[in-house]
Amino acid sequence: MKASRRSKAAAKKAPREQAAKAQAPAGSLVGKGHNRAVPPLDKAKRLALFEMMVKIREFEEQVQRSYLEGLVHGTTHLCQGQEGVAAGANLALADGDYVSYTYRGHGHCLARGMEMETAYAELFGRATGLCNGLGGSMHFTDIAKGLIGAAGIVGGGLPAAVGAGLSAQLNGRGQVSAVFFGDGSVNIGAFHESMNIAQVWRLPVIFICENNLYGEFTRINFTTPFEDLTERAKGYAMTAVQVDGNDVEAVYCTTAEAAERARAGDGPTFIECKTYRHRGHSRTDPAKYRDPAEVEAWLARDPIPAYRAKLVKEGLLTQKEAERMVEEAKAEVKAAADRAAAAPWPDPQQNFTAKMFA
Amino acid sequence: MKASRRSKAAAKKAPREQAAKAQAPAGSLVGKGHNRAVPPLDKAKRLALFEMMVKIREFEEQVQRSYLEGLVHGTTHLCQGQEGVAAGANLALADGDYVSYTYRGHGHCLARGMEMETAYAELFGRATGLCNGLGGSMHFTDIAKGLIGAAGIVGGGLPAAVGAGLSAQLNGRGQVSAVFFGDGSVNIGAFHESMNIAQVWRLPVIFICENNLYGEFTRINFTTPFEDLTERAKGYAMTAVQVDGNDVEAVYCTTAEAAERARAGDGPTFIECKTYRHRGHSRTDPAKYRDPAEVEAWLARDPIPAYRAKLVKEGLLTQKEAERMVEEAKAEVKAAADRAAAAPWPDPQQNFTAKMFA
Amino acid sequence: MQTQEITYREAVVAALQEEMRRDPRTLIMGEDIGPSGGPFKTCQGLYEEFGHARVRDTPIAETGFVGAALGLAITGYRPIVEIMFADFLGVCFDQIVNGIAKHRFMSGGQFAVPVTIRAIGGAGLRFGPQHSTTAESWFMSVPGLKIVCPSTPAEAYGMLKSAIRDDDPVLVLEHKALLSSKGHVPVGSDQTQPLTGPRVLRPGRDATVVASLAMVPRALAAAEKLAAEGIEAEIIDIRALRPMDLTPVFESVRRTNNLVTVEEQAKLGGWGAEVAAQVTSEAFDHLDSPPLRVGLPEYPVPYSPPLEDSVLPSPEAIAAAVKSLL
Amino acid sequence: MQTQEITYREAVVAALQEEMRRDPRTLIMGEDIGPSGGPFKTCQGLYEEFGHARVRDTPIAETGFVGAALGLAITGYRPIVEIMFADFLGVCFDQIVNGIAKHRFMSGGQFAVPVTIRAIGGAGLRFGPQHSTTAESWFMSVPGLKIVCPSTPAEAYGMLKSAIRDDDPVLVLEHKALLSSKGHVPVGSDQTQPLTGPRVLRPGRDATVVASLAMVPRALAAAEKLAAEGIEAEIIDIRALRPMDLTPVFESVRRTNNLVTVEEQAKLGGWGAEVAAQVTSEAFDHLDSPPLRVGLPEYPVPYSPPLEDSVLPSPEAIAAAVKSLL
Ligand SMILES: Cc1ncc(C[n+]2csc(CCOP(=O)(O)OP(=O)(O)O)c2C)c(N)n1
Ligand SMILES: Cc1ncc(C[n+]2csc(CCOP(=O)(O)OP(=O)(O)O)c2C)c(N)n1
Ligand SMILES: [Mg+2]
Ligand SMILES: [Mg+2]
């Protein structure tokens, strides 16, 4: 009967058959580190990586300050400590690619070029906000930059990322759909269905799991049978790579390689980035549930000082230049936040029907 | 912080820590065939296995006939060809265990001792039916026999089976929860969440997947990245065994072994039974979508004649005795169906509130 | 206009085929809708014409493929998904309610979300408690969704075409008991049907009866019986549940002074309450008696034929309800 | 009776603790409810007292652990599950609607299904579009479920105790904006609250106002304002959505001749329609004017404070609605 299907769909050289190929999965790359095949980064790019991590860090620190000033409302989920993933992965993506993430997505959006002032304006609930103040911290979306959206529901954004991947495959222009999510998300149904569909249809999707060891206040070992989430990818015969999420260049190379495969039609990749969040889950969380020794060990592996030291050691950056970058970032976020704080509130009388229906 | 938790929960020697153990999964038994450790079956049990398969076969054939006579309504999902799984697995289970299944669950219920007459009465929609005619073919439930229910929603019954497993673990009486489902069910979220929870909590659950290669009209290769579903179990670090579902003794031994592990507190097992359904998905399906060669090959592997030949060859059964068993089964199902057909219709004026609320 | 007499099922297929020819950005995903044409044959022939790229058999994963539709929609496609039984909408409820219905709003209106969700629901075929819901009220309180429920081949054809062309998410609730019903349809035409507003199917002066889906033909049958007794019931097909523009119902009740709603689901929390409430506020002084709601009892649809028949409002029961008001 | 003044949050904890002490077959599952005591601290101290066996942190898998509750319930336990935000009920909708609500019926009534589902919902805390729903209407049309919505610490305490003791599935909709509100509660007592029926909180002769959850205190505030103008509004807390016994509301409207409903969700498809419809049929001749429904606009709850504030019915708006009827 497969034969008859083939003839039937011959005209369209049925990609359905390609799906069938998925039975024989591409030789799994499960393993540590990245593939040296990816061309080395030039100085400009490496400095840009450092600068981006610094910007994300300072952006989040400013969010914290603004929060205490009463400018940010409700809750926020900051990513200090995980900047290496956002900066590294995004550098490997191209214009025209699709990127999605979660409520902890400020970093991914910044790395993708989201403007700080509109971001703060959104956090402050202002009319000039990225989403006109309708979404807030958990729903940054900037379609013009391929930032297709954040999931406030754990795992909820993965199916849409798969849809964007199908969109990319149908377009045939070599786009990819990259989606960022956490370790706690791998236990929910939406993750499973998304992984399976992406693999069976060999979609150009890059699943980037930021394994920071905790889902809210609960450590991974209480919710998942292992701490290495590449293990989970085996259940989909999906190429899976584990990388040090605090090594920004390793994340870049691994993502670049996955993107190459995806653009070449070789299907999805699951990337596990080992990382850690410095702060609590959300602004009200003092993160008392973590072993102080564990926290200490990870703070010592902060991706920013580590990369700074590396660049300085290699003579690509002086401490002075690094300081200046930090100062500039501090000034930039401060200025952006100040301008945003001066922005007008949205008008409750505006026409919301236009926001609802196209 | 794990330490602090331990002390806190010391009094209850927190099984939470047991969950943590799941990190180091029991050495996976992934592989073919069954473990010789299980004591060999005596003659009586082997004949009983044969007889049970015959009964299930004849029961389903009668359902088909009754359907054509207009006695069965709506739709039915028959299991001819898959009797080896129901008969073999159930022999390995004990009174007090919990068993759940799907709309294709007639065989599992019969193997567990469901009475034919009440079953037919249910299929015929009569007041004397197993569920008083409220559920029909897709919802056979007989709590007194541990038959906790059938899922009409694909994957929908797996979480409840996990709950029954937790119930068994909490009871501490060595019960297990066995759940039967199909190959198409492994792609839905409920399956995923159930597998993960069962493994993390090391619950006494036996996941029995009847891989008959098709989900309705679509072959497994179009919906799943591989045809060996033990591959999927790897994503949960769950012990997984693949067995010939048409070898009733192999199914028995494999299930017995999984039950032993579960009763001993060693957690869940995923069993993939390779099998095939002789008929279409449901009564309206001529199953044209299957390759005739594939159908032929599987019909040649019909579990019943195969086991009959084996028993005859080993001198445990004569062709004459076998024939008599078949005749008796035919007579039994006919008699049961006839009695059921004479049963009264349920009263639309009855008090349904009592059926809804305890 | 040129029409052909075809079945509701054929009308669905025609609408899908014509719209997929019309716009290459459309595609359809669902279970067994490819070479098999769908369990209810509502996608017959589409795979042969459009191929796997645009007619996709999916794994059994409603959350996955319905959510994928959102990703496709905001990146330039116009996906259609088929939910085999409306009961399964429960499996992807989150994707529809928290995703598809909200994504445009949460973004501040940055993009359109042209997703069409078709779900085949309803009782009467002995499918039992988990395969017989119309799911009419599950999404009634969800802003952002448009919900329609065609009761005839012409409506199924015209509203599905409109849904596919619409730039917002539309949930099309079809009914399996109507699939083989026949009617005149302007196949091959551009004649779409509006996604809002009820339609008066039979005029009458004595009472207004508002029904949906498979209850519509039953209401019409009730009107026949009543006519034999000299009672003229005006039968209105509600057609659309969200948004709900009841103007024709208000006008009707101002003339008939009586309202009966008939829905294939429990009355508590049903759309009949919404219609009754709105009519009460809009035609308060014209009501001779309080609106009467007819629906299913407070339990799921049972499998046994006499029981299933007993829970579904019969033409006799509908007629009796109307008479009880007069 | 002995009462203590405690918060709504403390009332929930007390009810859970007392019922778990009372019946060893009870246990609770949810996300981060163990050593952390729950994101909203609604399980504070339970893990320390009952341990992991009965107070279980689950993976993020609502379908899995809510469905597991069904398996536990029909095999002898009395599970309680916490859904962190009511919005997440969408993720496990199928398990609740097709499983928990139907399993007893489909079996012909072979067993009880004593499952208690607690979900913390509601707006007002700037949580934005995906974390602010009350989900009051999502399950309104689902036979088999009992749905309650406590608005005070005493109700939260008493109704949760009743829900846990009840042999049928009960969905308890709590409200995050009420968690810190205080009230007198008969802690340590056996004083449960009925799972059905509204409660008159403030008598009045001019109009009946029926509200739920966080809209109740707003309705009471509105009554204060109206009283200053000599208008006496009778404030009724609906308390239970399913089953819905509105007798006290009927009696009230027969006296006040006016009805206003206030709910924290879109009006279209809301419970206000059900109340308006039932009151219209039961107190038709007593109504001076058609029932008036107050609710949220036709879009999700926005994040921006002035916008979120603007969508939530204020005491002023409620008072104005009442006055518009007089
Ligand atoms: C379906 C669902 N359940 C629960 C939550 C509440 N919640 C928000 S974030 C979170 C933890 C997620 O952990 P992880 O995926 O590791 O992401 P991280 O926060 O560590 O970045 C939970 C449980 C939710 N948003 N959605
Ligand atoms: C959530 C859901 N989606 C779709 C269906 C329709 N459906 C019923 S059976 C079936 C195929 C299931 O295949 P499999 O799991 O292999 O079981 P089998 O029928 O082969 O025993 C489908 C798609 C359903 N019942 N539930
Ligand atoms: Mg995490
Ligand atoms: Mg199968």
Nearest in space to A8 (alpha carbons), one of B288, C118, C65, C14? B288
Task: Give the separation between CA C104 and CA B135, rounded to whole angstroms.
Answer: 41
Q: Output the pLDDT for position B38.
A: 84
Burial of A61: CB neighbours in 10 Å, binned 0-12, 13-18, 19+: middle
Nearest by CB to B1, which of A189, A226, A290? A290
Where helices occur in D117-171 by DSSP H, the ranges are: 153-165
Q: What pLDDT band is residue A27 in, cutting at 50, 70 and 90? A: very low
CA distance B259 to chain D (A): 19
Q: Output the pLDDT for position C1.
A: 66
Does the Cβ of D84 fall within 6 Å of ligand 1? yes
Q: Output the pLDDT for position B191.
A: 99
Instruction: Report whether pLDDT(B118) > 50.
Output: yes
* Residues C288 and C257: beta-carbon distance below 8 Å: yes
- Which pLDDT tens digit goes with each residue over B153-187? 999 999 999 999 999 999 999 999 999 999 999 99
- Expressed in angstroms and rounded, the spacing between residue B184 Cα and the centre of ligand 4 is 5
The mean predicted confidence, pLDDT, of chain A is: 92
Q: How many other CB atoms are found less than 10 A from the CB of residue C23?
A: 14
What residue of C is the nearest CA neighbor of B192? C61
Q: Is the peptide bond before A159 cis (omega within 30 degrees of 0)?
A: no
204-263 of C, contacting D, C-beta below 8 A: 242-244
The mean predicted confidence, pLDDT, of chain C is: 98
Instruction: Report whether pLDDT(A291) > 50.
Output: yes
Does the Cβ of A325 fall within 6 Å of ligand 1? no
Task: Give the separation between CA D102 and CA B134, rounded to whole angstroms.
Answer: 11
Percent of chain A scoring above 90 in pLDDT: 88
Q: How many other CB atoms are found less than 10 A from the CB of residue A286?
A: 8
Tokens of D245: 């016994």
Q: What pLDDT band is residue B30 in, cutting at 50, 70 and 90? A: very low
Catalytic pick among C10, C103, C131, C234 = C131
Percent of chain B scoring above 70 in pLDDT: 90
B164 touches chain D (CB under 8 A): yes
Residues of A in contact with B225 (CB under 8 A): 22-23, 25, 196, 199-200, 236-238
Q: Output the pLDDT for position C2.
A: 85
Residues of A in contact with B200 (CB under 8 A): 222-225
* Residues C205 and C185: beta-carbon distance below 8 Å: no
C175 catalytic per annotation:
no
- Which pLDDT tens digit goes with each residue over B231-283? 999 999 999 999 999 999 999 999 999 999 999 999 999 999 999 999 999 98
Tokens of B136: 């029909």
Task: Give the separation between CA B173 and CA B160, rounded to whole angstroms.
Answer: 19
C208 touches chain A (CB under 8 A): no
Where helices occur in chain C by DSSP H, the ranges are: 8-22, 46-54, 62-73, 93-94, 103-106, 153-165, 215-228, 247-256, 271-283, 305-311, 315-325
Average pLDDT of the segment spanning C269-293: 97
Q: Output the pLDDT for position A38.
A: 84
Instruction: Report whether pLDDT(A33) > 70.
Output: no
Q: Output the pLDDT for position A29.
A: 43
Q: Output the pLDDT for position B16.
A: 52
Could you tell me the CA-to-CA distances from C11 to B283, C44, C188 in Å, in that order?
25, 11, 10
Q: Which residues line ligand 2 (CB under 6 A)?
A: B 104, 152-154, 181-185, 212, 214-216, 281; C 31, 60, 62, 84, 88, 91
Q: Output the pLDDT for position C82.
A: 98
The mean predicted confidence, pLDDT, of chain B is: 92
- Which pLDDT tens digit goes with each residue over B182-203? 999 999 999 999 999 999 999 9
Task: Give the separation between CA A58 and CA A60, rounded to whole angstroms.
Answer: 5
Q: Output the pLDDT for position B147.
A: 98
Q: pLDDT truncated to tens, each residue of chain D (326 aa)?
A: 689 999 999 999 999 999 999 999 999 999 999 999 999 999 999 999 999 999 999 999 999 999 999 999 999 999 999 999 999 999 999 999 999 999 999 999 999 999 999 999 999 999 999 999 999 999 999 999 999 999 999 999 999 999 999 999 999 999 999 999 999 999 999 999 999 999 999 999 999 999 999 999 999 999 999 999 999 999 999 999 999 999 999 999 999 999 999 999 999 999 999 999 999 999 999 999 999 999 999 999 999 999 999 999 999 999 999 999 99
Q: Output the pLDDT for position A28.
A: 38
Q: Output the pLDDT for position B283.
A: 87
Q: What pLDDT band is residue B104 in, cutting at 50, 70 and 90? A: very high
Nearest in space to D313 (alpha carbons), one of D211, D193, D170? D211
Q: What pLDDT band is residue A16 in, cutting at 50, 70 and 90? A: low
Q: What pLDDT band is residue C165 in, cutting at 50, 70 and 90? A: very high
Q: Output the pLDDT for position D13.
A: 98
Interacting residues of A8 by C-beta distance below 8 A, sequence separation 6+: C35, C47, C48
Tokens 């044409």, located at residue: C37
* Residues C86 and C135: beta-carbon distance below 8 Å: yes
- CA gyration radius, chain B: 21
From the CA of D130, the nearest ligand is 1
Q: Output the pLDDT for position B19.
A: 44
User: E strand or H helix at A50, and its extent?
Assistant: helix A43-68
Task: Give the separation between CA D247 and CA D145, rounded to whole angstroms.
Answer: 20
Q: Output the pLDDT for position C208.
A: 98
- Expressed in angstroms and rounded, the spacing between residue B136 Cα and the centre of ligand 4 is 21
- Which pLDDT tens digit goes with each residue over A156-188? 999 999 999 999 999 999 999 999 999 999 999
Tokens of D12: 């929930």
* Residues A47 and A311: beta-carbon distance below 8 Å: yes
Average pLDDT of the segment spanning C104-109: 98
A123 touches chain C (CB under 8 A): no
User: E strand or H helix at A307, and its extent?
Assistant: helix A303-313
State the DSSP code for A289.
T
* Residues A333 and A59: beta-carbon distance below 8 Å: yes
Percent of chain C scoring above 70 in pLDDT: 100
Parallel, antiparallel or unpaired: strands B98-102 and B177-182: parallel
Q: What pLDDT band is residue B39 in, cutting at 50, 70 and 90? A: confident
Q: Output the pLDDT for position D1.
A: 66
Q: SS3 of D206, please? A: coil
Average pLDDT of the segment spanning A18-34: 41
Tokens 């902060």, located at residue: A302
Longest dimension (CA), chain D: 58
Q: Output the pLDDT for position B29.
A: 43
Nearest in space to A80 (alpha carbons), one of A103, A106, A100? A106
* pTM of the model as a whole: 0.96
* Residues D303 and D310: beta-carbon distance below 8 Å: no
Q: Is the peptide bond before B40 cis (omega within 30 degrees of 0)?
A: no
The residue with greater pLDDT, A352 or B25, is A352
Write the ipTM. Answer: 0.97
* Residues B206 and B178: beta-carbon distance below 8 Å: yes
Q: How many other CB atoms are found less than 10 A from the CB of residue B29?
A: 18
B341 touches chain C (CB under 8 A): no
Task: Give the separation between CA D100 and CA B238, rounded to whole angstroms.
Answer: 28
Q: What pLDDT band is residue A284 in, cutting at 50, 70 and 90? A: confident
